Amino acid sequence: MLAPKRRKFRKERRGRMKRKATKCNYVAFGDYGLMALEPSWITANQIEAARIVISKNLKKGGKLWIRIFPHKPVTKKPAESRMGGGKADVEKYVAVVRPGVVMFELTGLKKEDAYEVLTQASYKLPIKTKIVEKE
């Protein structure tokens, strides 16, 4: 799974995802992209599941860019533990995705094929998405 090699601080606060994205909000590398329409945390497992679906359907024809990376650590206390005792250990890493972020990009496929591949990948993600083209 994806995870950062090293971090300055081991644990992080939850933060907010209130506004729309100002970075990564356009198709930069490929011809087609999968854009988020809702704010969410996307886990490393979800990114990997979408990547596998895309790469299996790409075969040798196209190229894939993953524009998000799970930098944020998320902690979780064990079930039925008492209150207090400090912040829990890091359970997983997530990518913070705001509305408008282009998460995956493709090139080298026909329009119908690219739409089909990105639709399959969107089923693996917990948010609403839309397919965008390069302007």
Domain 32-74+90-133 annotated CATH 3.90.1150.10: no
Distance separating alpha carbons of residues 131 and 79, to the nearest angstrom: 39
Q: How confident is the model at residue 49 (pLDDT cuts 50, 70, 90)?
A: very high
Q: Is the pLDDT of residue 10 over 80?
A: yes
The first and second tokens of residue 11, run together, are 């644990």
Tell me the pTM: 0.86
* Residue-level pLDDT at 122: 92
Could you read off the pLDDT of 54-95 as tens digits, one per residue?
Answer: 988 887 778 899 999 999 999 989 888 898 888 888 889 999
Q: What is the mean pLDDT of residues 101-126?
A: 91
The first and second tokens of residue 114, run together, are 């690219």
Those residues with Cβ within 8 angstroms of residue 13's Cβ, 6 or more apart along the chain or in another chain: none
Percent of the chain with pLDDT over 70: 100
* Residue-level pLDDT at 24: 80
